[in-house]
Structure 1
Amino acid sequence: MSAPGSSTLRKKRKIAVLGSRSVGKSSLIVRYVEDAFVDSYYPTIENIFQKTITHKGQEYDCDIIDTAGQDEYSILNSKHAIGIHGYMLVYSIASRNSFDMVQTVYDKILNYTGTESVPCVIVGQKSDLHVQRQVSEAEGKQLAAQLKAAWIEVSARHNANVAKAFESMLGETDKGTTEGGPEPQPSKCIVM
């Protein structure tokens, strides 16, 4: 039996990746999990990717949920809220609308989970499209501060900051848990 806090004990993490259509959610995940760039666009219904990640000496078995694009009328699926340890909310730096949608999606998550905040990383995707930029770094950082979330800009095409985004996500999921402390257990509710 390993000692508490030992790196031989893997922690399980479920991460939901949400955002508007065609912001590069799938490209971001595929770049991270398979180290490949998907140039063509095929709308996603839902995919689950798995990867073992080592962060700060701790191993994590991660399920990364690639979701369908959200809009203001989308209903948040319960499986994207229940049992999720953290959220990556993705926008394209070349799309003002996708950036504006981040707050809407975040509010839907809070409404569904009934919490005041969730572990979250705001991801400005497509940083290689700097000539087409519609959202400044300052705006991304400001929104993240407002939501008490981490923030990073990435480029799946150039593999820039992709790993850092997922490492940041793991850091956010572990905020508030004590080193070597017990893993938070999901609460259960029975409706009769």
Structure 2
Amino acid sequence: MESHGHGSAIEHYRVVVMGTAEAGKSALVQRLLHGEFTDGYTPTVEALYPFTEGKPANCEKISIEVLDTAGSYNFPDMQRIYISSANIILLVYSPDNYESYKEVLKLRELIKDQLEDKVVGMDVRMVVVSTKSDIDHKQQKITLAEAELEFIQWDIPVVETSAKENTGFEALRSYIADYIGKRKTGGKQKHRLSRLLSKIMKSKSDDEEGT
């Protein structure tokens, strides 16, 4: 998504995080953007996080924001609004909650239908995110292998993460950076820009780890 104008226009990209309540969306967002983790569950109404701090000079015309959506949608049209505003959609589930996985499957169908209806006039990248990889495997209702087998047919990557242990976020940032890099450069110089964007997305996390 790009703002209109000449020369100094800033290109805006939105990452939308969707999934059921208690799937771990907010913990995922906090770790992704700020390198922070807070234990405990607080229901999310809706939160938009612009992430423009600490950007390299080469990327001054790029703005990235993350929309952490509510887990329960009071209005059916809200899901379509979220989708229509997205460049990248993170479909989040918790492996110990099969209902959260079923919701991701439903959301994938909704996104596919909406794209086919041309409600969204642009390419949208989906990434499935499995949270809480630190939990005991005996508690898992859906394994990573099962999820990968399900989504590989649609060319949707599955990333296993743990906000608590700070694992999987490098891969997640890489998917986000690669997508934006392709749109920004038209497929050219992707790797250079991806490195810059990855630097943007993880700058605060690196600062946190260095303290």
Work out whether the TM-score is over 0.5. Answer: yes
More helix by share: 2
Tell me the TM-score range normalised by the shorter chain.
Answer: 0.7 to 0.9
1:122·1:150 contact (CA, 8 Å) conserved in 2? yes
The counterpart of 1:99, out of the listed 98, 101, 125, is: 101
Whether the 8 Å contact between 1:12 and 1:61 is mirrored in structure 2 is yes
Q: Give, in angstroms, the shift of residue 170 of structure 1.
A: 3.1
Tell me the distance in 1 between the aligned counterparts of 2:177 and 2:28: 16
d(CA) in 1 for partners of 2:129 and 2:105? 13
SS at match of 2:84: coil
Q: Normalised by the size of structure 2, how large is the TM-score? A: 0.69
For 1:126 and 1:105, locate their aligned partners in 2 and report how far apart those are by CA, in whole Å.
Answer: 20
Q: 1:136 to 1:74 in 2, by over 3 A?
A: farther
Give 1:45's aligned residue.
45
Q: Secondary structure at the match of 1:81?
A: helix
Aligned equivalent of 1:129: 135
2: distance between equivalents of 1:32 and 1:110? 26
Kept in 2: contact 1:19–1:25 (CA 8 A): yes
Segments of 5+ residues of structure 1 without an aligned counterpart are 1-8, 182-192
Taking every aligned residue pair, what percent have the same amino acid on both sides? 24
Count of residue pairs the alignment pairs up? 171
State the alpha-carbon separation in 1 of the partners of residues 96 and 24 from structure 2.
11
- Unaligned 5+ segments in structure 2 are 1-8, 191-211
Q: Structure 1 residue runs of 4+, over 6 Å off?
A: none
User: CA–CA distance in 2 between the matches of 1:94 and 1:76?
Assistant: 28
The letter for the 2-side match of 1:80 is Y
Aligned-pair Cα RMSD in Å: 3.0
Give me the TM-score of the superposition, normalised by structure 1: 0.75
